[in-house]
A and B are shown apart, each in its own frame.
Chain A
Amino acid sequence: MRYFLLGFLLLGLVVVSVAGFRGGITRRPPIELFPDMDRQAKLRPQSAHGFFPDGLGSRLHPDQTIPRSQPVLVAGTPVHPFEDHPFNTGYEPGTTNFVQHSPVPVSETLLARGRERFAIHCQPCHGAAGDGKGPTTKYGMVVIGNLHDPRIVQQPDGEIFHVISEGRNLMQGYAANLTAADRWAILAYVRALQLSHLATLEEVPEGLRATLK
Chain B
Amino acid sequence: MSDIFPKWTNKLPGYVILGGALLGTAVVAGTWYYFTPKYTRVGYQPLQPVSFSHHIHVEQLGMDCRYCHNGVESSYHSNIPSSTTCMNCHNQVLKDDPKLALVRESAAAGKPIPWVWIHKTPDYVYFNHAVHVNRGISCVECHGQINLMDEVQHAQPLSMTFCLDCHRHPEAFLRPPEQVYNLNWKPDDPTRQLAQGRRFLEEWKVERLEHCSACHR
Contact = CB atoms under 8 A, between A and B. Distances in A.
A172 B88 contact: yes
Interface residues of A, number: 48
Contacts of A125: 89
Nearest to B70: A177
A119 B79 contact: no
A4 B19 contact: yes
Main secondary structure of the interface of A (DSSP, over half): loop
Contacts of A178: 70
B12 to A, nearest CB: 10
Interface stretch (B34-42, B133-141, B190-198, B203-211): B34-42
Nearest to B81: A177
Given A120-B64, A135-B62, A140-B94, A46 B77 contact: yes
A27 B61 contact: no
Contacts of A208: none
A39 B123 contact: yes
B92 A25 contact: no
A31 B117 contact: no
Interface string B89-102: 10111110000000
B49 interface: no
Nearest to A141: B92
A118 to B, nearest CB: 11
B4 interface: no
B123 A44 contact: yes
A1 B12 CA distance: 10
B112 interface: yes
A40 B123 contact: yes
Interface stretch (A16-24, A82-90, A149-157): A16-24
Given A45-B77, A125-B89, A27 B46 contact: yes
Contacts of A139: 61, 93
23 contacts: A8-B26, A12-B26, A19-B34, A22-B38, A23-B43, A24-B43, A25-B45, A26-B43, A27-B45, A28-B44, A30-B37, A30-B41, A38-B122, A44-B123, A121-B67, A121-B70, A139-B61, A140-B93, A140-B95, A172-B84, A172-B87, A177-B70, A178-B70
Interface of B: 15, 18-19, 22-23, 26, 30, 33-35, 37-47, 60-64, 66-67, 70, 77, 79-80, 82, 84-85, 87-89, 91-95, 112, 114, 117, 120, 122-124, 153-154
Interface of A: 1, 4, 8, 11-12, 15, 19, 22-33, 37-40, 42, 44-48, 56, 119-121, 124-125, 135-136, 139-142, 170-172, 174, 176-178
